Amino acid sequence: MIRQTYGAKDAHRGVDGTFMWFMQEVGELATALRGGSAAERAHEFADVLAWLATLANVCGVNLEDAVRHKYGGGCPGCGASPCRCDQSEKP
Ligand SMILES: [Zn+2]
């Protein structure tokens, strides 16, 4: 969806410029998490996901396929869903 909507513009911006926009949106999400309303947090989550998808598109990565490949069968560590990995590994 992001590629269809913005793909032509994104190709001109390139990886470096797109990464900077992605990081700016991560910063805005951090701000929203610290004091924003529920609507503001939802807005920033959407922006971060959209810019992550844009970055993947610019890099030639199909984000949907990548996530499905890595996490579609459950936790990559233990293979279960929900994950049964030891919590101490990633507190
Ligand atoms: Zn696991």
Residue pair 54/10 in contact (Cβ under 8 Å)? The answer is yes
Euclidean distance between CA atoms 14 and 61, whole angstroms: 14
Q: Tell which residue, 42, 49, 51, 46, has the closest CA to residue 22.
A: 51
Euclidean distance between CA atoms 60 and 8, whole angstroms: 13
C-alpha 9 – ligand 1 centre gap (Å): 38
C-alpha 64 – ligand 1 centre gap (Å): 20
Domain containing residue 36: 2-89
C-alpha 68 – ligand 1 centre gap (Å): 16
In this prediction the pTM is 0.87
For residue 11, the model assigns a pLDDT of 87
Residues within 5 Å of ion ligand 1 by Cβ?
75, 77-78, 83, 85
Q: For the segment 33-83, what is each residue's pLDDT rounded down to a tens digit?
A: 999 999 999 999 999 999 999 999 999 999 999 999 999 999 999 999 999
- CATH number for position 76: 1.10.287.1080
Number of domains in the chain: 1
